[in-house]
Amino acid sequence: MTTPDSGAQHGTVTELDRVTIRFAGDSGDGMQLTGSQFTATTALFGNDVSTLPDYPAEIRAPAGSLPGVSGFQISFSSGDIHTPGDRPDVLVAMNPAALKVNLGDLVPGGAIIVNTDAFNDINLRKAGFTEDPLKNQSLQGYNLYEIPMSTMVAGACEGLGLTSKQVELTKNFFALGVMFWLYERSMAGTEKWIAEKFAGKEAIAEANRRALHAGYAFGETTEIFHTHYRVAAAHLPPGTYRNITGNEATALGFVMASKLAERDLFLASYPITPASDILHQLSSYKHLGIKTVQSEDEIAAIGAAVGAAYGGAMGMTTTSGPGMALKAEMLGLAVMVELPLVVVDVQRAGPSTGMPTKTEQGDLLMSMFGRNSDSPIPVIAPATPAECFTMAIEAWRIALHHMTPVVFLSDAFLATGAEPWRIPNIADLPSIKVENAPASDKPGFRPYQRDPETLARPWAVPGTPGLEHRIGGLEKLDELGTVSYDPDNHHRMNLLRAEKVARVARDIPATELFGDPTGDLLILGWGSTYGSIRSAVERLRARGKRVSHAHLRYLNPLPTDLEAMLKNFKHVLMPELNAGQLRMLIRAKYLVDAVGFNLVRGKPFQIGEIEAKAESLLGESVEAAK
Amino acid sequence: MTQSELPVLTKKDFESDQDVRWCPGCGDYSILAQTQKTMPDFGVAKEKIVFISGIGCSGRLPYYMNTYGFHTIHGRAATIATGLKAARPDLMVWVITGDGDALSIGGNHLIHAMRRNVDMKMIMFNNRIYGLTKGQASPTSPIGKKTKSTPLGTIETPIIPLNLVAAAEASFIARSVDTHSEHLQEMMHRAGEHSGAAFLEVLQNCNIFNDGAWRDFTDKSVKEDRMLVLKHGEPMIFGAEKNKGIRLNGLQPEVVTIGEDGITVADLWVHDETDPDATRTQILSRMWWPDFPVPVGVFRRVPRPTHDQLLIAQIDGAKAARAAKGPVDLQKLLASGETWTVE
């Protein structure tokens, strides 16, 4: 059998800068696995990669049906990339439903690789095809590669003593093998994975290995592919890298925050898509001393986190929109008692249950204002999957130093999307440690005596002699913390709570501006739209447009340098995956006539969409100038 | 300071500087007094004691205790205690709640705190009414009870709190009465000594909105005949003449008279707090005047590892298993999975 390194390959090689592939099949076809194996190998090869899984919400929709289609998109490049790609260049469709669901996204002239064995009458009917698209002229505008994958793996796995159903399950590795050949990838990583995954199940391991090699050999020896493709390694900054999803980076960021704060981490959560993976990962770190509780509901989860914070631990909870809604009252209590707390909201499409596996940026205003009365809370948002790590530490740095709950707004796209992460050297990360209030032998401890700089109150932890005191949700007398209904005191405390959060702005980095400090258009974004906006701005600038990009990680308080930045541009465009929530805040605060670009389809912006919107704004401005 | 070196504390040490603000004549005054009196029993430094409450008249109690105190939000005190105790197993955690707070808005948390066996001592003031909001029906209001929110009478069957917590696997269950101060102190003492989730129902009188809710059987003049004081290992005898008893016929309790129809003390149900099967706890919890005397005392006390003990044991076990493979290296944890190096 030929190996990737043998060099005995037929046909021509085409050099490409960037390729986007979508693997699509039935939920049971192993498409997420195929995609993640291709990703790992591609990242190891040295390409910059960005991925987006797209799985159906239904646990197990009927096999072969349209709702049962599961997809995984990977974009990889020899340059710096920011998104999983707008539209795939290559579609691997394991059945008719996968073809039907994904064909519309494929670029004109793109490649389709299909498993012809799945194109039988039953599957065609389930997918809603009245006639076989492989046999009529409907795919004429594409490069269609027809491979009888099921037949091929059946042949490859002969003599292993496996059932035909077991053999059929290996066809995704056949497809992977074909793709490995097509893009000059090594099979070594996947072979190692197969050996580890199926340790002790030798026949299954061998079947998958054979399927993989059969796919590779098929690409190499058959004449259907006229060329294969080379995407050179990218020039990433030096360092050690791994591929990481946003949820993984978030969990590791909290582990690191606990280490840097030298304080115990406590997580209480209620399972909810797409946040549960953070609970799973932190629950597996018992050996690091991390305490986790799966609570009885969303309110109990944040309640336990507040209780742990009261006890001096780093209490936190993770959730998504519907859970965030339930946590509002307890967040208000955390504001009132001024305890550090981190709440992660991995946003998903709403309202209500919405589309749980799909992304949206709809919870910003809820995080800002979704509580009774004036109840200010710092809100921060990572921009990329890998950045979830540093922003998770930031969430805790702010919570601890300012004695406040902090909302960390991730979203489904960041949570499940992946990119290479340059692993930081722990020794380089600064401490975020704070001290508890010390024991006292004097009477009259004042639990609301504030730090003059930050206005943070002391963290007076039970067990500390001499600091016995009572706190609660009732309004309290300034400094003393005893219950007070005094009107002027209430007004003063309201101002103090607001000012305390406003002063966080003194403690955050300057806003990074990509492009020139003045120009015709500033595109202002936040959260997971970073990649699409940055790519669009790169393209616009390459065409000579005077466009810059600023991306906010700190949404409350807003950075103090933002106002001047906004006023240096003729236009401000704000793409958001909501109806314009940050735009409302920006317009209210700075009286800037920011224009919105708002799509809520449960998926990220395409680069081209932002580009077109920017072009139209710039065009209108040219028209107006005439 | 170790526990043995602690100065001897008195009730006074546990009184805060705050004026107590319940309605004059409220049963809560007695509960507060017994709480302050009981605290020195445990030999625990006052900075190690935390009182957590929800919302309602009962919720104010922490302000009056010179310990750490947290007056939280409606129904959620148990959740906060769960997190606090998990984070800080060294603390003694008391939860103060009421029938509305614990059984209505906080019902779910009550169930789960009990089944988890969170090491908290929960005292539920049961006055069968919403007092702080000025007189609406509560989950323990009897059917037909006329209140501001139920002018024609409630149409909802009341919860039997001890039956509920028994079903939720509470490891300590007790009941007392606000005005029976010695008994109440004893029950608080026993709850405080229990390791695990302790639930103490205190039948408390709201003299403003539901005066006399328990009077039919708690009043001094009738309590001997209408209440049953449970004592571990002793037959269930009650009555001013000490001649009435409870016999268990299968799963059916019966009131019998000693000396009648050949009944002797040997025929009576002998109370066993440590019965691992909560079925008989539930039978006891359902006994109610006028069909039965109302039981007070410790219904159930079974040893079970607490939530924080089990959590710490898992962590210690995982740490030991990990330590056997060499020291934990967070740098390696960050680099888990496939990595590659760019020069």
Q: Could you tell me if A360 and A600 are in contact, meaning their C-beta atoms sit under 8 angstroms apart?
A: yes
Phi first, then psi: what are they for B96, rounded to 5°? -110, 125
pLDDT in tens, A577-596: 999 999 999 999 999 999 99
Q: Which fold has domain A242-428?
A: Rossmann fold (3.40.50)
* DSSP-derived secondary structure letter, B234: S
Residue B340 to residue A43, Cβ atoms within 8 A: yes
Give A625's contacts (C-beta < 8 A, 6+ positions apart): none
pLDDT in tens, A22-48: 999 998 889 999 998 999 899 888 899
Which of B1, B19, B82, B92 would best serve as a mutation to test chain A binding (most A beta carbons within 10 A)?
Answer: B82
pLDDT in tens, B268-294: 999 999 999 999 999 999 999 999 999
Residue B315 to residue A289, Cβ atoms within 8 A: yes
Phi first, then psi: what are they for A590, rounded to 5°? -110, -5
For chain A, the average pLDDT equals 94
pLDDT at A4: 38
User: Chain B: residue nearest A461 by CA?
Assistant: B68
pLDDT in tens, A82-102: 999 889 999 999 999 999 999
pLDDT at A9: 46
Residue B333 to residue A255, Cβ atoms within 8 A: yes
A512-533 burial, b for 16+ CB within 10 Å, e for fewer? eeebeeebbbbbbbbbbbbbbb
A12-231 under CATH 3.40.920.10, yes or no: yes
Measured CA to CA in angstroms, residue A446 lies from A64, A340, B70 at distances of: 66, 18, 15
A513-625 under CATH 3.10.310.10, yes or no: no
Q: A3 pLDDT exceeds 60?
A: no
User: Chain A: residue nearest B326 by CA?
Assistant: A287
A133-157 burial, b for 16+ CB within 10 Å, e for fewer? bbeeeebeebeebebbbbebbbebb
- Structure ipTM: 0.97
CA torsion sign for A599, A601, A606, A609 is negative
pLDDT in tens, A427-453: 999 999 999 999 999 989 999 999 999
DSSP class per residue in A137-170:
STTTTSEEEEE-HHHHHHHHTTTS---HHHHHTT
Domains and CATH numbers, chain B: 3-213 (3.40.50.970)
Q: Return the domain boundaries, chain A.
A: 12-231, 242-428, 435-507, 513-625
| Alpha carbon distance B198, A123 (integer Å) | 60
pLDDT at B209: 96
- Our CA-based measurement puts residue A565 at a distance from the nearest CA of chain B, in whole angstroms, of 35
pLDDT at A106: 95
User: In the A/B pair of chains, how many CB contacts fall below 8 A?
Assistant: 204
Give the one of A46, A288, A332 whose C-beta lies nearest to B340's C-beta: A46
Residue B339 to residue A241, Cβ atoms within 8 A: yes
Determine if the pTM surpasses 0.95: no
User: Chain A: residue nearest B44 by CA?
Assistant: A463
User: Chain B: residue nearest A290 by CA?
Assistant: B315
A471 chain-B contacts, CB cut-off 8 A: 69-71
Q: How many CB atoms lie within 10 A of CB B109?
A: 29
Give A402's contacts (C-beta < 8 A, 6+ positions apart): A340, A378, A454, A455, A456, A500, A501, A503, A504, A507
Banded model confidence at residue A265, pLDDT cuts 50, 70, 90: very high
Q: Looking at chain A, how many residues does it have?
A: 626
pLDDT at B8: 87
Which of B118, B338, B341 would best serve as a mutation to test chain A binding (most A beta carbons within 10 A)?
Answer: B338
Residue A472 to residue B70, Cβ atoms within 8 A: yes
Q: Do domains A242-428 and A513-625 have the same CATH topology?
A: yes
Which of B14, B22, B91, B340 would best serve as a mutation to test chain A binding (most A beta carbons within 10 A)?
Answer: B340
Strand order in the sheet with A547-552: A513-514, A547-552, A519-526, A569-576, A595-598
| Alpha carbon distance A14, A4 (integer Å) | 17
Residue B108 to residue A469, Cβ atoms within 8 A: no
Residue B315 to residue A286, Cβ atoms within 8 A: yes
Mean pLDDT of A245-262: 98
Residue A312 to residue B87, Cβ atoms within 8 A: yes
Which helix (H) or strand (E) covers residue B186, if one does? Answer: helix B181-193
Mean pLDDT of A516-545: 97
A329 chain-B contacts, CB cut-off 8 A: 73
Banded model confidence at residue A622, pLDDT cuts 50, 70, 90: low
- Per-residue pLDDT tens digits of chain B, which is 343 residues long: 445 566 789 999 999 999 999 999 999 999 999 999 999 999 999 999 999 999 999 999 999 999 999 999 999 999 999 999 999 999 999 999 999 999 999 999 999 999 999 999 999 999 999 999 999 999 999 999 999 999 999 999 999 999 999 999 999 999 999 999 999 999 999 999 999 999 999 999 999 999 999 999 999 999 999 999 999 999 999 999 999 999 999 999 999 999 999 999 999 999 999 999 999 999 999 999 999 999 999 999 999 999 999 999 999 999 999 999 999 999 999 998 888 888 7
pLDDT at A621: 66
DSSP class per residue in B210-222:
BTTTTHHHHSTTT
Residue B47 to residue A467, Cβ atoms within 8 A: yes
| Alpha carbon distance A181, A177 (integer Å) | 6
Mean pLDDT of A369-387: 98
Residue B340 to residue A240, Cβ atoms within 8 A: yes
